Amino acid sequence: MKVLLKRYDKDGDGRLSKKELQAAFRNSGLHFSGFRARRALHHADSNHDGFIGNDEMKELVIYAARWGFTVK
């Protein structure tokens, strides 16, 4: 999970934004990456700050696995 965060956290703030999630989904070949990023945030962002932090990464991975996302 930390690999996912490290690979796609482009600004280095230790969390994933919607834009970073969208890039991760697009990179994995998922269609509708913007929609998927919004849904992933809705599903995994338990503190509703608009980002996926380390403590929320497990829920993100569960959501992403449903849609065929794999870390490359």
Instruction: Name the amino acid, one letter, at 36.
Output: R
Please check whether the domain covering 2-66 is classified as CATH 1.10.238.10: yes
pLDDT grade, residue 70 (50/70/90)?
low
pLDDT digits (tens, 9 = 90+) for 27-63: 877 778 888 889 999 999 999 999 999 899 889 888 8
Quote the pTM value. 0.80
Q: What pLDDT is attached to residue 1?
A: 60
Collapsing DSSP states into helix, strand and coil, what is residue 36? Answer: helix
Rounded Cα distance, 68 and 49, in Å: 26
Q: What pLDDT is attached to residue 64?
A: 77
